[in-house]
Amino acid sequence: MKPISFHVARWAAWSPERPDQAAWLNWAGAEGGSDMAEPVKPPVLLRRRVSALGQQALSAAWRVQEDRRMPLVFASRHGELDRTLSILQALANEAPVSPADFSLSVHHALAGLLSIASENRGGHIAVASGRDSLWLGLVEAVATLNEAPDGAVLLVYYDCDLPAPYDRFSSEGDETIALALEIKTGTLGRALQLTAEPASSGMPESRPGERLMKVLLGGGAVRFHGEMRSWHLACADAMA
């Protein structure tokens, strides 16, 4: 894959260990800046009947989505798996399926809610590609940006540990995280470059969101071995 370059103009992130922006900056040893989206309470539509993880993803997106016309790219390995599990349990028990769980269980449901709440007609896409989901979400976001380079694209990545009984398929170090990035061209924010090569024969790695945030906030570069590709993300300083 040819290197793809882009800027992250604004960001917001959440995890159980780092619930606010200050905690992320302290973890990365970085200082605050204009690229950090300010806290803001999302509308009721983005909180009602949405799972705890979904609320965090939509809250981060609402803070970063400055231009309500920007296209949306949502990426997740598992999505809101609790909802799917609830549907399967209802079917197994021959019980009625919750309409809310059914309508909100698909991967692009959160993107649809965000586009409705913000009256965003920029279009949206959902990416689910195993342990490569975040990185292929970035590829999709930059490809979308190239169609209208004067604009911006909102990338939202969210994932969580697998719930029981599927937790036996979890890997050590799986992460619970929600982050939103405003992807742009130009000079605003952190300049990053992403490259990829065929995946190595080793075991795929975990915690891609933390890897990305470490580079975004602290600089430097990181490698991540996924299931389909081995990824290399670097900031402009590390490439110089």
Tell me the H-state helices in 29-132.
52-64, 81-92, 99-104, 109-117
Name the β-bridge partners of 190.
8
SS3 of residue 54 by DSSP: helix
- d(C-alpha 83, C-alpha 74), whole Å: 17
Mean pLDDT confidence for 187-203: 85
Mean pLDDT confidence for 199-215: 84
Mean pLDDT confidence for 192-211: 85
Fold of 4-189: Peroxisomal Thiolase; Chain A, domain 1 (3.40.47)
Q: Terminus-to-terminus CA distance in the chain, angstroms?
A: 20
Q: Which of 95-99, 105-109, 142-146, 197-201 has the lowest mean pLDDT?
A: 197-201
Instruction: Quote the percentage of the chain above a pLDDT of 70.
Output: 94
Distances (CA, A) of 113 to 64, 110, 151, 210: 15, 5, 22, 26
Q: Confidence band (pLDDT; 50, 70, 90) for 201?
A: low
Q: H or E element: which one contains 217?
A: helix 208-218
Name the β-bridge partners of 230.
197, 225
Amino acid at position 217, single letter: L
CA-nearest of 22, 62, 21 to 40 is: 62
> Tokens 């490809």 identify what position?
143
Give the chain's mean pLDDT: 87
- Residue 239 clears pLDDT 60, i.e. is over it: no
Domain limits, the chain: 4-189
The pLDDT value recorded for residue 233 is 96
The pLDDT value recorded for residue 193 is 96
The pLDDT value recorded for residue 124 is 94
The pLDDT value recorded for residue 173 is 60
CA-nearest of 57, 76, 177, 192 to 125 is: 76
Mean pLDDT confidence for 19-23: 91
Residues contacting residue 218 through CB under 8 Å, at least 6 positions apart: 28, 29, 30
Strands 72-75 and 124-127: parallel
Q: What is the dihedral of CA 14, 20, 24, 26, to 10 degrees?
A: -160
DSSP letter at 80?
S
Name the β-bridge partners of 36.
11
pLDDT tens sequence across 90-122 = 999 999 988 888 888 888 899 999 999 999 988
- d(C-alpha 76, C-alpha 93), whole Å: 28
Mean pLDDT confidence for 130-143: 95
pLDDT tens sequence across 25-55 = 999 988 766 587 777 788 888 887 788 899 9
- Residue 187 clears pLDDT 80, i.e. is over it: no
- d(C-alpha 104, C-alpha 165), whole Å: 21
